[in-house]
Amino acid sequence: MPRTEASPDTRRTGRMFASILIIACALTLAPASAGADEVSGDYKAAVLIDARTGEVLFAENAHEPLPPASMVKMMTELIVLELVAEGEIGSEDPVTVSAKASTMGGSQVYLKQGEIFTVREMLLALAIHSANDAAVALAEHVAGSVEAFVELMNRRARSLGMHDTEFHFVHGLPPGWRQEADLSSAYDMALLGRELCRHPDALDWAVSDRVPFRDGQFILTNPNPLVGSFRGLEGIKTGFHSQAGYCLAAAATQKGVRLISVVMGASTDANRGLETTRLLARGFDAYTKLTLVTAAGDACPETVSVKGGKRKRAPLAYAGPLVVGVPRDRSADIAFRYDLPERIEAPRPAGEIVGRAVAELDGKAIGAVDLVLADIVEKGGFWDRLFKR
């Protein structure tokens, strides 16, 4: 029987050793152009991207199709969260456990046929504990069957540009007799993780360590070896079975920058944490913080045209501070793009939001702040309206 995600005790032991190795680690990254058959660490494939821009900062075998194991559940979670956000289903909707869901092996919360939990409770079991039975229950609740839900998964993967991916299951367990395996790449998993990070709940759950379930009768435990040991960690998902090895998609934010790393096929739980730490730490070391706007009320060099006012143009101010993370040697290359209406019509109050300042690097947005009217825009008299329209 192929092995899957470890038991809670094994997870805690693995996390302890991972923390020790992480502290002792001082390795270097290979360049993003490393050869397709070369790897510099204990993994079959790895990638590191900037979550804001999608820029690839490091890659080894990043597009090689490999079994992603339970990282598949990122897509299951994403689809359910998107449906909740769109109002198609409710987070408190009841989910009734089917016979099929109750018989899932591997990591599970031991759902029984006929039990009822809310969508949110099932998502917690899925995201924190990597529960295979919860994945099936959610899929059946949303689409009527696992097969129909898998179609949704593959459709969403294509829309995200995940060209190396083909899903066959909602949980990531290894295939049985005459079943096809899930396949994806480190790059595709990074794209998926980047999209999942748009949902605040997903980030909260991904770093939750121990959470009560079934009225406290069961404790959801997080298998991520970096929870509580890496500064700025935001998730995202582990994966393991004997054919896939140890996998980890991680997100972390430091210096105003969110990076996403994916490691696939590590030989141990500790090493997937070690390699992930190495990727993220070296990535963050390449960035520096840059303050573009010091505080709310700072004057903006742009103005906006006014129709029917005492003056033709109104001064603007930044609505708040703006700090961005940029590559250490690129600070001088940041430029502002000002998104403003062609003109506004008087009267308008001071402090009203009228536009947005977008900080860009190489044409890609890396941060933004609202623009507000610095002063009251008063309506002009007859002659003002006549000569300043």
The residue annotated as part of the active site, out of 70, 98, 184, 261, is 70
DSSP state letter for 170: S
HSE-up of residue 306 (Cα within 13 Å, Cβ side): 25
**Dist CA 22 CA 270 (whole Å):** 9
CA 260 to CA 235: how far, in whole Å? Answer: 9
Q: How far is CA 376 from CA 164, 172, 349, in A?
A: 55, 58, 5
Is 19 one of the catalytic residues?
no
Residue 352's alpha-carbon distances to 309, 359, 376, 378, in angstroms, are 16, 21, 9, 13
Beta bridge partners of 245: 241
Cis peptide before 347 (omega within 30 of 0): yes
Tokens representing 273 are 């944490």
- Catalytic residue, chosen from 19, 98, 107, 130, is 130
Note if 70 is an active site residue.
yes
| Residue 170 near residue 73, CB atoms below 8 Å | yes
Angle (nearest 5°) at CA 275 between 8 and 288: 120
Report the distance separating Cα 35 and Cα 38, nearest Å: 5
Task: Give the DSSP per-residue string, 251-286.
Answer: EEEETTEEEEEEEEEESSHHHHHHHHHHHHHHHHHT
Q: Which of 44, 73, 237, 255 is the catalytic position?
A: 73
The residue among 166, 195, 235 whose CA lies nearest residue 79 is: 195
Q: Sheet holding 353-361: strands in order across?
A: 335-339, 353-361, 364-373, 313-318, 299-307, 344-345
Q: Are 83 and 207 in contact (CB under 8 A)?
A: no
Residues annotated as catalytic (active site), given as ranges: 70, 73, 130
